[in-house]
Amino acid sequence: MKLILLRHGESQWNLENRFTGWKDVSLTKAGIAEATFSGQQLLKANIKIKSVYTSLLKRALETTDIVTDIINFPREHIKYDWRLNERHYGALQGLNKSETASKFGEEQVKIWRRSYDTPPPLLSEDDERHPKFNPKFAQIDGNLPSGESLKNVIERLKPFWKNYLSFIKENPGNHLIVAHSNSLRAIVKVLDELSNKDIISVNIPTGVPLVYKLDNNFHVIDKKYLIDEDRLKEKQEIVANQGKAK
């Protein structure tokens, strides 16, 4: 069984170096090209996809539509789950990462962005950015986040992950999840059995399929990105450098 994890293509707020969180923003031209590349790489590798899951956020939805069109996966069979949404960045949502680092200090912003269990400053309940004011999330059963650490994202993902493992066990084949940096980092932490410290240094680039080969007990046999090593390093460096003071 292969499980393919794909972070959406570059979004407009990725380009603008802003904390995006649950804000709906579209892909850039580069993001569209990355999504197209991802679909073509899956075709090239001859990986037949049995199921596709994605989040409720536009940048992931647009990426999913592009990829599924390329690999001829029926759009009506795509499954959507809010638990795959990006980490909610609380009161940082919409702010420029470099300007925020200049204001609060790069070390503090690094803690907010990369620590395992320290959430960003939370939104107030009456902040218009709070997800409870977005009709898209009105049907979500549970408390909507005002800001999340990676630990919070993992807790939020647990019900999805339990059901998902049961689903793919009953449906052998190759499966694709199109999501976001931190929701995918949460899954990577579980799959690779990483410590809270080790996950801090893990960066997931936009628009590159990460292919896990799993045994029947979901233990990792192998993993690789469908891209050459030089381009992978370049993209990972870009992600690692985002948010540094300039």
Known catalytic residues are 8, 86
160 close to 84: Cβ distance less than 8 angstroms:
yes
Detail the DSSP E strand segments found in 94-194: 174-179
Between CA 71 and CA 48 the distance in angstroms is: 8
Query: Which parts of the chain are beta strand (E)?
Result: 2-7, 49-54, 79-80, 174-179, 210-214, 220-225
Burial (CB count within 10 angstroms: exposed 0-12, middle 13-18, buried 19+), residue 241: exposed
